[in-house]
Amino acid sequence: NFGSVLFDFEKNATLETEYGFKLNSEIYLQSHSYKDKFYILTVSRRSSKLNIYTFDHEGNFGKRIFDFSDRFFGDRKNEKIQLDEFLTERVQYKTEGTVVKVEESNPNNISITSNVFKIYDRGNSFILTIDEGLLYTYIFEFKVPELTVDLKAIEKEKLPNSKFLTASNSYLFGDKIFQISGLSDTLVFTVKNLETKEVLKRIELSKDEDINFKNSPILQEGTFMSTSDKRKLEKTSQFLRKITAEDIGVAVISTEDGYQITMGGNKKREQNGGGPMMMGGFGGGMPIGAVGTLGTVIVSFNTAFYAFNSYKSNKSTSIECLFDENFDHIKGAVPQNVFDKIKNYTMKNEHDRAINIFKMKNFYVYGSYNSDEDTYELIKFSE
C-alpha cells in the first residue's frame, strides 16, 4: 500500500493520506515530487510499458501508461530486450527496480554515477537514462504535470579496433551528456550536446600514454576490509584495468572556471554492520522539501544524504579532472567541495549519532545528536 504525510508547520499538524491501490504486475522504480503533486514511476512486468502514478493530498491518484513496445532497445549483444528486463533484477526471491536517483546540484561521486540506470530530478521534469545497452544511451524525459515523454537514443563511442564488449556509462549535466567507454587498454570520453548530439569534446587514451588531463593522482579508495584505505596507482594501464573490471562511470560538478569531472570505476562492497546510526524518517533517506505557499512540505527521497554516504559501502578507482567552459584542460589543484568539508567535520566528530544531511536552498545542513547536551544539533555548510 502507498500513503503520504503532509507536514503543516504553521498549524503544527500532519495530514496522513492512504491511497487505495497496490501495484499489480508492476515494479516500483523511483519517485518524484513537484509542487503539490507526488509521482511514482513503475514498469509493467514482461513488457516495455512505463507507468506514472500521480497523487495529491486529497487522496486522489491517476495513472498514465507509456507503451514503448514498438521501439527497439538493444542489450549488451544488441539484441532486442524489454524495458522490464533492463530496469529490474531478482534480489532474494523478489524482483526489484534498479534505478538510482541523482540530483545534479549534489557533488555526486563515482559510486552513484557508475549505476547504469539513473533518474535525474529536475523539478518540472525527471529524466530516466539507461546505459546497459551496447550501442546507445537511452534517455526518457518525463514532463510534469503535463505527463508527456520524449525519448532519445544517444550513440556511444566506438573504441578503435575493438572486438570485445566495452564498459560504458554516461552522466547528464545541464544540456550536455558526458559519455565514457573503456577496455583494459583504451578509454574514450566525450561531451555532447543533448539536443543536437554535437560532439563538444573527445578524449582518447591508451594504456601506454600518460593521463595529461588529470588534476589528481589515480586514487583507489576503500577495500573489502575498510572504506578508509587509500592508495595511489602510478600507471595508466592500472587505471584502465581497474575501472573496466569495475562499474565504469563519470561524474560532473560545476566550478568557477568550468567543470570538475570524475572518471573511474566502482565496486560495491558488502556492508558488515557498524558505523554511525543513520536516522530514518526525518533523515536517512526521507527528508523534507518545501512545497507551495502554505508552510507545508512533501516527504521525498533524500538525494543529499544518499550521495554523501554512498562512499561508505563502496570501493572505487578514479581521477579528478578540471576543464574550462570550452572543455580545455586547466592545470591546478582540485577545489574542495561541500561534501569534502562535511567529511572533514565528521572525521573530527566520529562519535556523532543519528546523522542526517539534507539540502536547503543553496546550502547543506548536517544534523547529529549530542548525547552530552541531549540536543540535536544542525550545522550549516556551503561551497
Q: How much is the pLDDT for 9?
A: 67
The answer to whether 110 and 123 have CB atoms below 8 angstroms apart is no
pLDDT confidence of residue 223: 59
Q: Hey, what amino acid is at 102?
A: V
With a cut of 70, list the residues of the chain below it in pLDDT: 1, 7, 9, 92-93, 162-163, 223-228, 269-302, 305-314
- Helix intervals (H) in the chain: 83-87, 110-113, 236-245, 303-309, 338-348
Rg, the chain, Cα only: 21
Q: What is the DSSP letter of 71?
A: S
Three-class DSSP labels, 304-328: HHHHHHHHHHEEEEEEEEEEECCCC
Per-residue b/e over 52-76, b at no fewer than 16 CB within 10 Å?
bbbbebeeebeeeebebeeeebbee
3-state secondary structure of 197: coil
DSSP-derived pairing of the beta strands 37-44 and 247-254 = unpaired
Beta carbons of 354 and 368 less than 8 angstroms apart: yes
Query: Would you give the DSSP letter of residue 276?
Result: P
Rounded to the nearest 5°, which phi and psi values hold at 313? Answer: -120, 25
User: Nearest Cα to 110, choosing from 342, 317, 381?
Assistant: 317
Give me the pLDDT at residue 226, please: 53
CA-CA distance, 127 to 224, in Å (whole number)? Answer: 33
Look at residue 272 in the predicted model and tell me its pLDDT: 45
Cα(196)–Cα(175) distance, rounded to whole angstroms? 10
Give the pLDDT of residue 194. Answer: 96
Single out the residue of 169, 119, 116, 171 nearest to residue 140, CA to CA.
119
Boundaries of every domain in the chain: 17-335, 336-383
A 10 A CB-CB count for 351 gives: 7
* Phi, psi dihedral angles at 305 (to 5 degrees): -60, -45
Rounded Cα–Cα distance for residues 367 and 362 (Å): 17
Say what the pTM is: 0.85
224: left (phi over 0), alpha (psi -120 to 50) or beta: alpha
Alpha-helix residue ranges (DSSP H) falling in 216-302: 236-245
At residue 195, φ and ψ (nearest 5 deg) are -80, -50
Going edge to edge, which strands form the sheet with 117-121? 100-102, 117-121, 125-130, 136-143, 148-155
Cα 26 to Cα 52, 173, 301: the distances in Å are 11, 30, 20
Q: Is 177 in a helix, a strand, or coil?
A: strand
**Residue 360 burial class via C-beta count within 10 angstroms: exposed 0-12, middle 13-18, buried 19 and up:** middle
Residue identified by cell 538493444 is: 74
CA-to-CA distance for 312 and 52, rounded, in angstroms? 32
Contact criterion met (CB below 8 Å) for 147 and 52: yes
Backbone angles phi, psi at 342, to 5 degrees: -65, -40
